[in-house]
Amino acid sequence: MTSQTSPYRVVLGIALTPVLALAAAAPAAAHPAATATAASTATGTTAAAAVETRAPGPWGSRTPHAANPVPASASGGLNVLESAGDGALVSLTGDGLSRSTRIRPAGGTRWLAPQTWPDAGGYNTELVPLGDGTVRLAWRAQRADDHNNYWLKVATLAPGATAFSEPEYVAPVPEKGYHHLAAGPDGRLVAVWSASGVVKTAVKSGPQAAWTAPADLNEQPPSGSRDISSMDLAVAGDGTALVVWQWRTSRAVVALEKAPGASAWTAVEGLPVPGVDLARPKAFAGPRGGFDVFYDDNAHLMHTRRSAGATQWSTPRSAANYGSTSGMTAPVHLPNGDLFVAGGPGYATGPWYAVRSAATGAWQPYTQPFSTHKKVRAVDAAATSGGTVTVTWREGYSGEEYTMAAVFKGGTWSAPRRLSATTARSAGAPQVAADALGRPVVLWDEYKLTDTNGIALDGVQQATTTGRALPAWGDYTDDGKPDLFGRDGTGLKVYAGTAAKLSAAKRTSSWPSGTLVLPYGDLDGDRCNDVFVRHPKGEARVYPTVCGGLPDQQSLHVKVSSDWSGYDTVLSPGDMTGDGRADLLTRSASTGKLYVYANNGAGGFKARSLAGPGFGGYKRLIAAGDLDGDGKNDLLALDASNELWRFRGTGTGTFKPRSLVFKDWGTSYKDVVGGLDLSGDGRADLISLDRTGHAWLNRGNGRGGFDNRTQAGKNTDWTGIRIS
């Protein structure tokens, strides 16, 4: 026997774009206008295009970062994890004494033996991926011949290499202060650092070139402002370098740039970053050129950008109320050009995120948070497969903190997943990066209680996602089992579990009164079930979601029609045409004709075709799933005499003549949903809500009918809930 779990064809390269409004008299189907490009980060493409439309799969179990990790006393905890840009991953662990790098080659799953840097335990050690597979390690180290002086040193991991090179000595630097390293598209390296209020720079023009002698970018600092409170460096795609810093006492912001081929740095014209307290500007280079600069201003995270080839900066806009550069992630560039940032600490009382529309330049007012916990810290983000962003964070209170992860796509979040052990405490900042297939890899520190009631580092742990299987029909919790939609005054929820113990998941999305919301199959080929919505004024849409998430009104969508108000019934029946893709059924209120909108396999729908006439006399139509195990989905219809009829599907978008299922049935039911295997026996069932607040299950018998009803969802009062 088979239930309504027909596999869906994987469709690659779908972009979800708005389409022209369609005529209400004969509603047709929407067709997307473009194909998706590979998701990229500020340092280059990280996900393989061949799997780009497939969302990350379920999380696997936690494992040690390495089979034979360096003892905690020698290596310390996790510092950072980076993607080299060619699929290789590089981690940095350590403490104030020394640091170690580990490499996981592209296409591999094992981490190589550590490479230890005994003098890299000091201030501001950083890994800098260049996007082409090259990674640079930069740090301050004491001079062997003079312990009162330090050098800025850089080691290089070449594309495909299994170890970093011997370090190069860049320039003498002070013991403390900022330093940053960035690279141009031609392989040129730029280093900047501060020394007693003077910002210095050195340049390495190519792999075989020597570092230039240090040059001063400013004279003595303003009176009383010998300290720099923040400093950042970025190099754009055209080779232009931008350095920006803020004086601690005067709060003035300084920005200098150097065009490729120029002999000197010049002042940046018109950068609209005010000299406010703790502006803390951060600069990022976009993959298509230009710069994005973020800063803090009166508990707002502000943003301005200068596009490639432009001379003016955009008017600053608030990216997030109560967001801050002190806790924000590096921006993630989405396939459609939108910009994603998130954070937790700073001015915020809880986690925040923001998305900038590439089309309008506005920051989207999304409402779904990735966590409802107020104590969220150490947020990180990476572009992952399927056009998604994977976000990690640490949440909880002292003594009970956990590493968490969630996936974002198009305004929709998956449910948060705890990655760390329940018997251990997380610490530090969990880090995430994408591997060669675009799968998220997460590293974090775990501590355990000692015999003396203290805590000790239990090692760096890791987790990644498994393969994404074809979605089970109606699965919206990403557990491979069908779920039920339920709406009440608080919004739309997913009810999951066994038929007897259906309970609402924590995640909720809100829709206006009069909105029809139905579960739908996978429209965009990412192997996540999507959601059909008909808005109160008649506009019909499908909202592609991330697996385990619910869309909101602001989420990206595909318009099916500008006006489906002429249909008094809309059903989501799964595959009706035999191509393995989910379709839609509609009934015309004026003619009683039933139409099928077939999935076109390219992220939209074909023009409607007649499924059958004469359906106007039925007061309820129910998508039933495969009731007899022939692999074709059926339809149920309740007539005015309360007789329930079955129309057997043909697999061609039409139905065979009806046969009787029940007499005198359904008079007490306000909602009936079919096609879900809630009993777990592989057969399509019926679940019904009566007007007294009870839910009832009729198990499918596999022969085209149902067993007698039994009560379902006993732990829920269904009085004010409508199901779909």
Count of helix runs (H) and strand runs (E) in the chain:
1, 55
Q: Among 31-40, 202-211, 689-698, where is mean pLDDT lowest?
A: 31-40
d(CA 218, CA 228): 12
Q: Is 81 within 8 Å of 433 (Cβ atoms)?
A: yes
Identify which has the larger pLDDT, 337 or 6.
Answer: 337
Averaged pLDDT for residues 513-542: 95
Whether 207 shows a pLDDT value over 90: the answer reads: no
Asked whether the beta carbons of 701 and 708 are under 8 A apart, the reply is no
- Confidence category of residue 506, pLDDT binned at 50, 70, 90: confident
Residue 459: which residues within 8 A CB-CB, separation 6 or more? Answer: 64, 65, 69, 72, 445, 446
What 8-state DSSP symbol labels residue 563?
-
Check if the beta carbon of residue 538 is closer than 8 Å to that of residue 545: no
- Does the structure show a pLDDT above 70 at 597? yes
pLDDT for 550-583, tens place per residue?
Answer: 998 888 899 999 999 999 999 999 999 999 999 9
Its pTM stands at: 0.87
CA dist., res. 724 & res. 720, Å (int): 14
Which residues partner with 304 through β-bridges?
A: 293
In contact, 288 and 238? CB cutoff 8 Å: no
- When pLDDT is averaged across residues 134-142 and rounded to a whole number, the result is 91
Q: What is the DSSP string of 481-536?
A: S--EEEEETTEEEEEES-STT-EEEEEEE---TT-EEEE---SSSSSS--EEEE-T
581, 466, 576: which is closest to 10 by C-alpha?
581
User: For residue 645, what pLDDT is reported?
Assistant: 97
- The predicted structure's pLDDT at residue 673: 96
Looking at residue 31, its pLDDT comes to 25
* pLDDT one-digit tens code per residue, 68-93: 444 443 446 899 999 998 999 999 99
pLDDT at 32: 24
Residue 457 is predicted with a pLDDT of 67
Report percent pLDDT > 90 for the chain: 63
Please tell me the predicted confidence (pLDDT) of residue 499: 84
| pLDDT for residue 502 is more than 50 | yes
Residues 695, 629: Cα–Cα separation, whole Å: 26
Range 584-613 average pLDDT:
96
In tens, the pLDDT along 422-453 reads: 777 777 889 999 999 999 999 998 887 666 65
pLDDT of 453 reads 56
Q: How confident is the model at residue 18 (pLDDT cuts 50, 70, 90)?
A: very low
- Look at residue 42 and tell me whether its pLDDT is greater than 60: no
Helix (H, G, I), strand (E, B) or coil at 66: coil
pLDDT at residue 299 tops 80: yes
pLDDT 10s digits, 96-116? 788 999 999 998 889 999 999
Predicted pLDDT at 224: 60
In DSSP terms, 595 is beta-bridged to 586, 610
**What is the predicted pLDDT for the residue at 130?**
86
Q: What's the pLDDT band for 237 if we cut at 50, 70, 90? A: confident
What does the alpha-carbon distance between residue 577 and residue 559 come to, in Å, rounded to a whole number?
21
Edge to edge, the sheet with strand 198-204 lists 179-183, 189-195, 198-204, 215-216
Q: Check residue 567 and give its pLDDT.
A: 98
CA–CA gap between residue 543 and residue 517 (Å, rounded):
10
Contact 89, 81 (CB under 8 A): yes
**pLDDT at site 43:** 32
Kindly tell me if the per-residue pLDDT of 493 is higher than 70: yes
Per-residue pLDDT tens over the stretch 274-288:
999 889 999 999 888
Indicate the average pLDDT of the chain: 86
